[in-house]
Amino acid sequence: MIGNTRWPSSPKTIRRRGYFKGIRYDTVWIPSQPLNTSVEQSKDLLYSLSSDQNSHPLHSPSPNPREGEKMAIRHLLSLARRAQRRTAPSIRSFSTSPAVASSPSPSPTSPNAMIYDRLAESVKHKLKQLENPDPRFLQHNSPHPTLADHTPILAAPLTRVTTLPSGLRIATESNLAAKTATVGVWIDAGSRFETDDTNGTAHFLEHMIFKGTEKRTARELEEEIENMGGHLNAYTSREQTTYYAKVMEKDVPQALDILADILQNSKFDEKRINRERDVILREMEEVEGQTEEVIFDHLHATAFQYTPLGRTILGPAQNIKTITKDNLQKYISTHYTAPRMVIAASGAVKHEDIVEQVKKLFTKLSTDPTIASELVTKEPAIFTGSEIRIIDDDMPLAQFAVAFNGASWTDPDSIALMVMQSMLGSWNKNAGGGKHMGSELAQRVGINEIAESMMAFNTNYKDTGLFGVYAIAKPDCLDDLTYAIMYEMSKLSYRVSEADVTRARNQLKSSLLLHIDGTSPVAEDIGRQLLTYGRRIPFAELFARIDAVDASTIKRVANRFIFDQDVAIAAMGPIQGLRDYNWFRRRTYWLRY
């Protein structure tokens, strides 16, 4: 439309020719509908520029001719904008009409074309911002995560689960590149399912399970494992018992046969039982020398007093001396049932082969449909704000743990508590560091040298949990240390920075990944998650849940579990300088230092 531009003829074409600042041009309109008044005014205004400026009302005499030109252009643009809003189809047809330029000389652009050029540039700029957002807004992860790439999910190893008619679950994660495998049985049974009279039976059974079966004597069992070059082990916790074997790829069927044999055909010889009593009593003496184990046993005993979780795993010495063969067999028939078992395998295994072998080997298990959750509902664990103090001046260092009632495995806030545990962190004098650690609590402890070690903990159970801090310190440092611990925990309800939350999230994800390095940790993760969640949570989902925790989430969860809540305290050693219970209780809502 500018200069000597040639336009295609059209019956609807409206032409206006004029001169502006010494340049000749044609104005061409190709409307798709009748032009409105604003567009006509803009045409007249544009035509008026070709005549004397003083001949148009908008171009009254002015001391500066250029000022009049600017006024006319501004008015033209305002009219064109109004026309563009009301007659977008007309203007669009004009802006997109074909034209062949015969002269490369520069010419002014149509006002309407300029508008659409500006709109196009604005849209391009917005799209560019979306594709390349400002990194300042990405320094923290989004509290509402989105998954742009599904590769981590598709590339993750597949966990296959098969449930037999008896209720027995079989879960495997194959890694055909591995040369070893771990196969084990995870059972939803532990010390919380005992009674006061039978407390210690689950752990006693763990010892007796390897003392011979109807097919294998204890010696034959040990030699068979040794000849395979394998590793057979077991452990008992408050809610779960595990028996597992780590062997070479070719020995997986034999390992499964051994596990099925010891769980279904164990012989509890009276002589073996009496001999094992002394072994367990010696083990109890060794555990009593591990102060951390003792502190947490006392913490459970006071926090869950008179409830199943308050019992110890090993049981009292009096029960160990009186447990009989009938107690062991009754515990197996009651709690070692198919619906409460998970057979997990990882490494050099094939799911179909494991399923076929399990069908042939595990045929004597009870199919009692009672599950652990029903037993927990009948006898729930109840948290009680309380304390237990054992003064022992012969100990060189004081030790204590302060805990709040925590979340269960399936509580939606359990992930946030895991992040809070990472925020509080841990510190050890022998490990060095501390002054430059991310955790503010670790910094306080390291800079002021008020502890030998400290660590935050978060323990989950089926219906409850414990969240707190365990610390070891010199007697004269207890006052400063307790101030620092309670201040940092209470501060989670008031002031939380996104930088601290981001650091804690990254540390948590890193520790979770490092924890499953190897076939045994993977099998343990599979078995534990199937017992607690009923499925294995993919890491992509778990990490998305972790990334969803932000500063506001931390403050909300801290207000639920920490702010003005009862605490449980267990302490032992030279603890005369440890503050009383009421002081700790007040610090759950006083943010003073």
Question: In sequence order, which residues have a C-beta less than 8 Å from that of residue 93 and are 6 or more positions away?
Answer: 30, 31, 32
Count CA atoms within 13 Å of residue 384 on its CB side: 18
- DSSP classification of residue 9: -
From 458, 461, 463, select the one nearest 404 (Cα to Cα). Answer: 458
For residues 345 and 285, the answer to whether their CB atoms sit within 8 Å is no
Catalytic, 276? Answer yes
Catalytic, 206? Answer yes
For residues 169 and 161, the answer to whether their CB atoms sit within 8 Å is yes
In the structure encoding, which two tokens stand for residue 257, read together? 């046969």
Question: How many other C-beta atoms lie within 10 A of the C-beta of residue 517?
Answer: 9
Residue 74 CB-density burial (10 A; 0-12 exposed, 13-18 middle, 19+ buried)? exposed
Give the largest Cα separation in the chain, rounded.
125
Buried b (16+ CB within 10 A) or exposed e, 86-102: ebeebbebbbeeeeeee
Distances (CA, A) of 272 to 231, 268, 269, 279, 537: 22, 7, 5, 11, 42
- DSSP classification of residue 309: G
Question: At residue 542, what is the residue type?
Answer: L
- Residue 49 and residue 51: Cα distance in Å, rounded? 5
Which of the following is catalytic: 173, 194, 239, 276?
A: 276
Question: At residue 125, what is the residue type?
Answer: H
Residue whose structure tokens are 């039976």: 201
Which of the following is catalytic: 206, 387, 452, 524?
A: 206
In the structure encoding, which two tokens stand for residue 99, read together? 């034209």
Dihedral sign, Cα of residue 287, residue 292, residue 295, residue 296? negative
Helices (H), 436-497: 440-448, 478-491
Question: In sequence order, which residues have a C-beta less than 8 Å from that of residue 512 and are 6 or more positions away?
Answer: 539, 542
- Residue 551 and residue 501: Cα distance in Å, rounded? 6
- Residue 428 and residue 472: Cα distance in Å, rounded? 9
So which residues are the catalytic ones?
A: 206, 276
